[in-house]
Amino acid sequence: MATHEAMARINENYLKLQAGYLFPEIGRRVGAFQKKNPDAAVIKLGIGDVTRPLVPAVLEAFHAAVEEMGTDAGFRGYGPEQGYGFLVDLIREHDYAARGVEIAADEIFVSDGSKCDSGNIQEIFGIGNVVALADPVYPVYLDTNVMAGRTGEADDQGRYGGIVYMPAVAENGFNPEPPSVRADLVYLCSPNNPTGAVSTREQLARWVDYARQNDAVILFDAAYEGFIADPSLPHSIYEVEGAREVAIEFRSFSKSAGFTGTRCAFTVVPKTVMGKTASGQSVSLNDLWNRRQTTKFNGVSYPVQQAAAAVYTPEGRQQTGEIVRFYMENARLIREGLSASGLEVYGGENAPYIWFRTPGGLTSWDFFDRLLEKTQVVGTPGSGFGPSGEGYFRLSAFNSRENVEEAIARVTRTSW
Ligand SMILES: *Cc1c(COP(=O)(O)O)cnc(C)c1O
């Protein structure tokens, strides 16, 4: 038997992660409620997953590519780790050149998800870097840095030592200004999950200035750019002058084209974004990410990349656009319904999330329970996205029209 000393040691940073993870706890409370109230019709507006099926243009391309894989001429084995040229070229043209942004083919890395990319990117950075993040925000940025050992322990409010938290609250329009302290890595998410806030060009320009002044790198998650309706808002951080020198951008087909189960996304790492060695030598992050991906990743399957390419055809754009408009109409109904019931509501105009202050100063979890009791609607407690999310609540627009209308009817007849 192995001695204690010889046992495989774990990465103890994982033990710093907070135990009561958000969605399992939601599941537990909903399960307990349903057990007590077996006839209650519970409507879930909690988890951020899409509900509408793949559009016909995507499905057709997906099928055709699967058929091709079964022929001698069309069979493909390993593809380029960075993605097939046909998809990379469409991304360059439609997502960037069409908005006046020059991105080269070898600056685009197709992947199986922005969750993985935004989680894996920290690997190419040194452990001593100071990380700044909006609070509340998508938990992946923080948790992956905790796992890597870039933080201390969490305090009783869930704040980790060593992290620069930037509160995103009603008072600053959910768009924190760059901090007065130095940070090396800055995670930004716009349109934001969970607040639904979107950064303006001027706000992003201040971040780009901050990064240039501090030699920092911005990790910009634009997974929800497809939901931006206001034409004055930027879809890419590269629409801001100077961002090509300081920013990495994450994009995904998950939410805007229904690819949460199909899996396709991409990350842009301009060759001009540099990091430094301890001795001060500049190194291209594009080279490091390319090395990381070619070592640890073998590419997205050919049929999935063909399905993603179909999103850019005229039919694909029209059909996915209709689905985005469908979700955004849900968002409008939720926003207006919550406002009509006297709640203080944010988001939902350029993002599929509606964020609101809990009534009467309730904690996020107390409001979760009250909402479930009174209306049988399930949402997500804001405190699950960071300490400054306490006292807020998130509803998502991803559901059927019928369920959204029913949920809102119940909410508007409720007094808190
Ligand atoms: C859903 C989501 C993603 C997308 O993740 P995928 O792995 O591409 O499905 C990325 N960032 C945020 C903030 C999200 O909410």
To test ligand 1's pocket by mutation, which of 115, 121, 193, 380 has the most ligand atoms within 8 angstroms of CB?
A: 115
Distance 257 CA to ligand 1 centre (A): 12
The residues, any chain, with a CB within 8 Å of residue 225's CB and separated by 6 or more, are: 191, 235, 236, 251, 256
Q: Are residues 306 and 358 in the same domain?
A: no
Q: Are residues 135 and 121 in the same domain?
A: yes
Q: Report pTM.
A: 0.97
Q: Are residues 325 and 178 in the same domain?
A: no
Q: Is the CB of 140 under 6 A from ligand 1?
A: no
pLDDT in tens, 148-188: 999 999 998 889 999 999 999 999 999 999 999 999 999 99
pLDDT of residue 20: 59
Token output for 67: 């058929």
Share the mean pLDDT of the chain.
Answer: 96
Q: Are residues 202 and 286 in the same domain?
A: yes
CB 48, CB 193: distance < 8 Å: yes
To test ligand 1's pocket by mutation, which of 252, 260, 394 has the most ligand atoms within 8 angstroms of CB?
A: 252
b/e map of 291-329 (b: 16 or more CB within 10 Å)?
ebbeeebebbbbbbbbbbbbbbeeebbebbeebbeebbe
The answer to whether position 2 is within a domain reads no
We report the CATH number of the domain holding residue 374 as: 3.90.1150.10
Domain boundary among 285, 312, 339: 312
Q: Is the CB of 255 under 6 A from ligand 1?
A: yes
Is the pLDDT at 107 greater than 90? The verdict is yes
Q: Are residues 333 and 235 in the same domain?
A: no
Token output for 61: 């391309």
Q: Are residues 297 and 353 in the same domain?
A: no
Domain that holds residue 373: 20-49+315-412
pLDDT of residue 279: 96
**Banded pLDDT at 22 (limits 50, 70, 90):** confident
Total domains present in the chain: 2
Distance 228 CA to ligand 1 centre (A): 16
pLDDT of residue 324: 98
Domain boundary among 281, 312, 343: 312
Token output for 42: 């519970």
User: What percent of the chain is modeled with pLDDT above 90?
Assistant: 93
We report the CATH number of the domain holding residue 220 as: 3.40.640.10
Q: Are residues 279 and 394 in the same domain?
A: no
Is the pLDDT at 5 greater than 90? The verdict is no
Q: Are residues 92 and 149 in the same domain?
A: yes
274-298 average pLDDT score:
97
Q: Is the CB of 110 under 6 A from ligand 1?
A: no
Q: Which atom of ligand 1 is nearest to the CA of 189?
A: 13
CB 397, CB 405: distance < 8 Å: no
**Banded pLDDT at 1 (limits 50, 70, 90):** low
**Banded pLDDT at 415 (limits 50, 70, 90):** confident
